[in-house]
A = this chain, B = another copy of it.
Amino acid sequence: MERELLLLGLLQKEEMHGYQLHEFIDSFMQTCVDLKKSTAYYLLEKMAKEGYVTRTEEREGNRPPRRVYHLTAAGEECFLALLRQNLASYLPATFAGDTGLTFLDNLPASEAVSLLEQRRAQLAEAVAAIERAPLHTGTLQFMIEHQQVHLQSELAWLDSVIARLSNEE
């Protein structure tokens, strides 16, 4: 549901064509949501069928025609309903990385530690990247702040795991 919410929300601010939506998501929200281009088109198509958005063909100069998506009244209503539903519920996140930890004892502790140190390096890079993120105005800031809090908590925890495994050796 939250991908639809995202698309509707962006269209609600201003009408956009597919590429614009995709660019926005990729450049401002890449750390927080994962929405592929083809998925975006698929969802826009679906929501067009459901009457939440309409498409108009436009061409500017000689460029290939663009399909500009507009929110309809029904889409606006749907947006608000999804928004309320999203805000009111806690959707647990799952962590792909936890599966590996479950089978840690199938490797020698020293190897496990060195693998987890590679993981740590990537996580540290993600922390650094989010710290570098320009201060965004408005509510986008919440998302970034959440990501910061989360990544820092992840890093501290991973460090404690590595420390314990190192002691066991």
Among A80, A92, A161, the most chain B Cβ lie within 10 Å of the Cβ of: A92
Number of copies: 2
Measured between alpha carbons, how far is A99 from B107 in the docked complex, in Å?
Answer: 39
Q: CB-CB < 8 A to A98: which residues of B?
A: 32-33, 142-143, 146-147
* Contact for A6 among B99, B106, B154, CB less than 8 A: B99
How far apart sit A118 and B24, CA to CA, in the bound complex (Å)?
Answer: 30
A36 partner residues in chain B, CB cutoff 8 A: none
Could you tell me if B33 and A142 are in contact, using CB atoms closer than 8 angstroms?
no
- Residue from B79, B106, B122, B142 within 8 A of A90 (CB atoms): B122
Are B33 and A94 neighbours in the complex by a CB distance under 8 Å? yes
